[in-house]
Structures are given as structure tokens and as C-alpha cells.
Amino acid sequence: MSLISDIPVLDDLDAPRASTVRATGEIQVYLETYGCQMNVSDSEIVASILKENGYGLTGRLEDADVILINTCAIRENAEQKVRRRLAEVRAHKRHNRPDLKIGVLGCMAERLRENLLEQEKLVDLVVGPDAYRDLPRLLGETADTGQAVVNVQLSREETYDDITPIRYDSNGISAFVSIMRGCDNMCSFCVVPFTRGRERSRSITSILDECTSLVDEGYREVTVLGQNVNSYRFRQNGTAVDFPELIHRISLVSDDLRVRYSTSHPKDCSDDLLNVHRERANVCNYIHLPVQHGNTDMLKRMRRTYSRDEYLGLVERARKIVPGIALSTDIIAGFCAETEEEHQDTLSLMREVRYDQAYMFMYSERPDTYAARKFKDDVPEVVKKRRLSEIIALQSQISLQNNKKEIGREHTVLVEGPSRRSNDQLSGRTDTNKMVVFDRRALKKGDYVRVRVHDCTSATLRAEVVDG
Ligand code: 5AD
Ligand code: SF4
């Protein structure tokens, strides 16, 4: 993934997550997840479906009777990474476990369908993101017949709302809660509407029930997930609940529960939503607001439905309604026919907004998208790379400057666990989603602690605990 290494990652494709608990069960499944938070959340649903049907989960690939890889298709390099992993898994099957079953789940399964069986010999299952309920049947069928099986049916209704996810890789403090699936936006560069289908919202009752159970289990933070969360809309008893209302209702589950969400589309970020941020102390003062580009013509070609000025107007509105709100974004470098001046507009927008964090990517053409059909992927690779590195360097500078302004300020941090470098130190995030490291003292995971910042890098704040 093209991303500066010391900026925290939202969807770190380079770090697959493996199933870590070993439950008892006749057939052991090893589940590995690539891609975005939505995939992590989907794997928790898959784990639940499998366990309900008598399968065990193992964190050791060597012990597995079934290996499932939950895949990402958003950029070519994400797919290449999965293919490399599949080659390793196939070698393991050939040399050690001829009876092993290998399954490909998620977006790559949906994009490539039966072709995947041709391309990746020895794959036994191909299962799309709306077909996970069918996994036990499919596993049974391939075990019985020895034939490869495929279900890539997309659904207009499936939200898995009755399934309690097994959060096998969680810190016990922060959880993902999926609220909607699919995307109807059709941004011209994006494969997601093809791999995840049409938008549909999960029932508000099942979302609130899940959040209440999480609080009872000791969780202190939920990140509400969807491809396009602001489109959430659920009709109940003749009235429709929209996204601001949903966030408000989740925030009432417990004052000790922090509420975040991802990903939102700037076109639907309403004043109602911003007011919920202002009024509810536990709705975090942070929004991920992907701009993608700083030039209005490019935004048109990207089919983002807002102009540069409209986006800047939204940022101004957000900062007026919620003073101190932190903003992060996604940016694509080198999209079709991008000129040097258009690229400069991205840099100038970044200087104007001064994001706290950014996730930055080189454009990667995806088959069948509007851009692939209508435009030429004509910015040379070296130019794309250079533009991306200018964007990354600028963001790194801005993140550092923003963090330096934090020195001397106090924040309330939710303790997430030991810091990466030392067991004597803990880490957690501010309300504004900044990572903070501080002395352990008698603190534990799940505590809220008041800290004062004394030092920083572009990615992390260092702080001391404020006594009393
Ligand atoms: N090439 C590069 N980046 C992409 N994204 C989506 N599709 C592509 C693509 N074809 C980025 C967008 C999106 C983020 C999740 O991934 O910035 O917001
Ligand atoms: Fe892709 Fe655009 Fe939908 Fe995001 S909003 S998933 S970028 S089509």
C-alpha cells in the first residue's frame, strides 16, 4: 500500500490479520483477512457462522483443515498480495496437506468469480461477501464431492444483522459494528460497487442491541462501519431513521462508549450530523472525509459529485459547528489525464485544510469501472510515484506541525494496551483519533485517562498522565 510508514493506517493491506483463538471443533479453519475494516468485520461474521456450524477456529495455519482468505480488490497491488499468499498456501497443500481445502472470500472472489478457479488452481471455494451464510453448505459440498464450489450471488437485503460477530482479534476495548453494506455511489475509479453490490442498511434494533452487549462485555469504543455510512436509512414503524439519528441513538447506549464511524462521503455530511458531534460528548471529534482530489474537473471525472469549493465549504462548516474537530482524508495521485496543475491543486487543498491524517494512494485502474471503460490510465508510473511522494511528504509535514501544536495541551485518552515499543508504556487515542504514548502506572486497558502532551512525531504524541 502506498502510504507513509509512520502515519497510522486505516486499512493496512500490508498487515493481514489471522484468526487467533482456537476453539474446539472437528474441522479447524484458519481465516486470514486482507484489506479494509469492513473485511475485518466480515471475517468476524464468517467466524461466527462457522462456529455455529461446528467448525473450530485456529490461529496456526499448519493445524488447519480449511484455509480461508478474505480478500481485497481495491487496487492491483492488494490483489497481487493475495495471489502471492495463495501461492504459499497452495505450496503448503501440495507438500503437506493434499486434503486441505482453500477458499477465497470477499471482493476478489466477487470480482473474478469462476475465473479465479482457472487462475488459482487448487482453490476449492470462491465465496462473495453476501454469501457467507452458505459457507457451511459449500464446505460440506466440496468435502463430499471433491469439486470446487462457487457462490458469488450479491444480495439486496443481506446485512447479517442476526449474527453476533466473534471478535477473535480484538483488544477487548474497541469493536467494529457494521451498519450498512454496499455502495451506490459509483465513483469512476472504484470497484467496490461491483464487488459489494447495492446499498442496504441493517436494522436499528440489531445495531443498538449489539452496542449494548459490547458495553456489557467491557468494550469502550465502537467504530460504526459501512462503505458509505451517511447513506444509512432504516424504516421502522413508518418512520425512517437516518445516520445522524442512528449515531445519536448509539451514543445514548452509554456515556462511557466512544462512537466513531467510517467511511463517510462528503456529499452527505449534513449539519444534523455535525450537531450530533457537537452535542454528544462521546461522539468523537473526528471525521474521515475522503476528498480524493483537489481539482474540480478531476472530481467531476472521478464522479464525486462535489466541487473543490463545496468541499472546502463543508470543512469550514464542520470546523464552525464542531470547533477543534480533527479531519482525515483519502487522496488519489495520478488519476486519468491528471495534469501537473491539477496535481498542484491537490497539494494546495491539503495546505488549506491541514488534515490531521491522510491515506494516500497511486491510482490503480480496476477492470469494468467507469474510468477503465471511458478514460485512459495515461499518467506514467514514474509521474504517479513522484506525485504521490510529494503528497506524502506534504502530509507528513502537516501532521508534524499539527501535532507540535498539541504540546502542552491536555486530552482524555482511552487506554488500548501496551505501546508497541515498551511494556512499561501504554498507548491509546484521543477523542480526535491521535495516538498517544504514556507511562503505564496502575492504568489498564479500557481506562479513560487525562494526559498532557510533551513531545510528538508526525504519527504519535508523547504525554504524561495528569494527576488528580
Ligand atoms: N486506485 C487507487 N485508490 C483507490 N481507492 C479506491 N479505488 C482506488 C483505485 N482504483 C482509494 C480511495 C478510497 C480508498 C478506500 O481507496 O481513496 O477512498
Ligand atoms: Fe468506492 Fe466511492 Fe463507494 Fe467509496 S463512495 S466505496 S470510493 S464508489
Q: 173-213 pLDDT, tens per residue?
A: 999 999 999 999 999 999 999 999 999 999 999 999 999 99
CATH code for position 432: 2.40.50.140
Query: Pick from 338, 331, 320, 396: which is nearest to 359 by CA?
Result: 331
Q: Provide the pairing of β-strand 357-362 with 125-127.
A: unpaired
Query: Does residue 378 carry a pLDDT above 80?
Result: yes
Question: What is the CA 356 to chain-centroid distance, rounded?
Answer: 17
Q: Three-class SS string for 185-228?
A: CCCCCCCHHHHHCCCEECCHHHHHHHHHHHHHCCCCEEEEECCC
Q: CA-CA distance, 361 to 3, in Å (whole number)?
A: 7
| Residue where a domain terminates, one of 124, 151, 178 | 151
Distance 414 CA to ligand 1 centre (A): 30
Angle at 119 between CA 116 and CA 125, to 5 degrees: 35
pLDDT tens column, 342-353: 999 999 999 999
CA-227 nearest atom, ligand 2? 6
pTM of the model: 0.93
Task: Determine the Cα–Cα distance for residues 249 and 216; give it in Å rounded to an integer.
Answer: 17
Is 185 touching ligand 2 by the criterion CB < 6 Å?
Answer: yes
Let me know if residue 86 belongs to a domain. yes
Asked if pLDDT for residue 17 goes beyond 70, the answer is no
Domain C-terminal end among 121, 151, 181:
151
pLDDT of 422 > 90? The answer is: no
Ligand nearest to the CA of 76: 1
Task: Determine the atom of ligand 1 nearest the C-alpha atom of 292.
Answer: 17
Name which of 432, 461, 426 is nearest 444 in CA terms: 426
User: Which grid coordinates belong to 55?
Assistant: 467448525
The helix/strand count (H/E) of the chain reads as 14, 22
Query: What is the pLDDT at residue 151?
Result: 97
Is 94 inside any structural domain?
yes
Q: Is the pLDDT of residue 147 over 90?
A: yes
Q: Tell me the β-bridge partners of 70.
A: 33, 105
CATH number of the domain that residue 57 is part of: 3.40.50.2300
The ligand with the least distance to the CA atom of 264 is: 2
In a domain, 453, yes or no: yes
Query: What percent of the chain is predicted at pLDDT more than 70?
Result: 94
> Rounded CA gap, 283 and 255, in Å?
9
The predicted pLDDT at position 2 comes to 30
Residue 409: pLDDT above 70? yes
In a domain? residue 24: yes
For residue 373, name the pLDDT band (cuts at 50, 70, 90).
Answer: very high
How would residue 5 be classed by pLDDT, with cut points 50, 70 and 90? very low
Instruction: Taking residues 152-167, report their average pLDDT.
Output: 96
**Nearest 5 degrees, angle CA 435-CA 438-CA 442?**
125
> Looking at the predicted structure, is the pLDDT value of residue 169 above 90?
no
Q: What does the pLDDT read at residue 19?
A: 61
| Helices 340-353 + 308-321 axis angle, to 10 | 10
Quick one: pLDDT at residue 365? 98
Q: pLDDT confidence of 10, banded at 50, 70, 90?
A: very low
Residue 190 beta carbon below 6 angstroms from any ligand 2 atom:
yes
Mean pLDDT of 437-451: 95
Residue 114's nearest CA partner among 149, 144, 85 is: 149
> How many A from CA of 323 to the centre of ligand 1?
29
Read off the pLDDT of residues 200-254 as tens digits, 9 standing for 90 and up: 999 999 999 999 999 999 999 999 999 999 999 999 888 999 999 999 999 999 9
Q: How far is CA 176 from the centre of its chain?
A: 9
Ligand 1 atom showing the smallest separation from residue 359 Cα: 17
Residue 69 belongs to a domain = yes
Beta bridge partners of residue 177, listed in sequence order: 224
Instruction: Please give the distance, rounded to the nearest whole angstrom, from the Cα atom of residue 74 to the centre of ligand 1.
Output: 6
Comparing C-alpha atoms, which of 86, 114, 111, 113 is closest to residue 100?
86
Residue ranges of E strands in 112-169? 125-127, 149-151
Number of domains, the chain = 2
Percentage of the chain surpassing pLDDT 90?
90
DSSP lists the bridge partners of residue 71 as: 106
Last residue within a domain, chosen from 129, 151, 173 = 151
Ordered DSSP codes for 392-411:
HHHHHHHHHHHHHTTTT-EE
Mean pLDDT of the chain: 93
Task: Indicate which residue's Cα is closest to atom 6 of ligand 1.
Answer: 190
Q: Under a CB-based contact definition with an 8 Å cutoff, are residues 292 and 263 in contact?
A: no
Distance 44 CA to ligand 1 centre (A): 24
To the nearest 10°, the Cα dihedral for 51, 56, 62, 65?
-80
The finding on whether 265 has its CB within 6 A of some atom of ligand 1 is: no
Q: Would you state the pLDDT for residue 25?
A: 47
Domain of residue 141, residue span? 17-151
Query: Bigger pLDDT: 59 or 423?
Result: 59
pLDDT tens-digit readout, 83-132: 999 999 999 999 999 999 999 999 999 999 999 998 888 899 999 999 99
Residue 82 falls within a domain, yes or no? yes
Provide the pLDDT confidence category of residue 38 given band limits of 50, 70 and 90.
very high
**Would you say residue 48 lies in a domain?**
yes
Examine residue 22 and state whether it is found in any structural domain, yes or no.
yes
With cut-offs at 50, 70 and 90, classify the pLDDT of residue 9.
very low
pLDDT higher than 60, residue 305: yes
> What contacts 41, CB < 8 A, 6 or more positions away?
165, 176, 177, 178, 225
